[in-house]
Amino acid sequence: MQIRSRLTVLIALVTLSLAGGVSAGQDKVSKVPPAQRKSVVHSAPIDINGASLAQLKTLPGIGDAEAKRIVAGRPYLSKASLVTDNIIPAGVYQTIRHRIIAIQHTMPKRAASADRPAVKR
């Protein structure tokens, strides 16, 4: 019986020491200043058909020359057109593909003008 009670006490001590180590590790994580914590910033995707040069240059792998080629090749039917039209390399596209979109901008309809006669049907 004495061995059983010692074994129970030993198991209880080991359990408490392991639980204390886990909580101590959690305390270390919470003491890291917020400025040093890595955070994931989810920003809105950049529209390659409407973004400025400065906005395009915020993308990884896109410098001044690439941004100018993107603007010169507009409009794009899809973001994959950047690769198929040889605007940027496939590796750069793989890096930025989740951060870009290609919105199809439509021209606004012209209002009926006073000098144009209405069509009778």
**pLDDT for res 77:** 95
- Per residue of the chain (121 residues), what is the pLDDT tens digit? 677 777 677 777 777 666 665 444 454 455 656 655 555 556 899 999 999 999 999 999 999 999 999 999 999 999 999 999 999 999 999 999 999 999 998 766 665 555 555 556 5
The span from the CA of 56 to the CA of 42, in Å, is: 16
pLDDT of residue 38: 52
- Residue 63's pLDDT is what? 96
Q: Specify whether the CB–CB gap between 97 and 91 falls below 8 A.
A: no
Q: Enter the pTM of the model.
A: 0.56
Q: What are the structural domains of the chain?
A: 46-101 (1.10.150.320)
C-alpha count within 13 angstroms, C-beta hemisphere, residue 76: 24
Burial of 75-101, coded b for 16+ CB within 10 Å and e otherwise, reads ebeebebbbeeebbeeebbeebeeebb
Task: Give the pLDDT of residue 52.
Answer: 97
The distance from CA 75 to its chain's CA centroid, rounded to whole angstroms, is: 23
E-only strand ranges, 40-117: 46-47, 100-101
Q: Cα–Cα distance between 30 and 8 in angstroms, integer?
A: 33
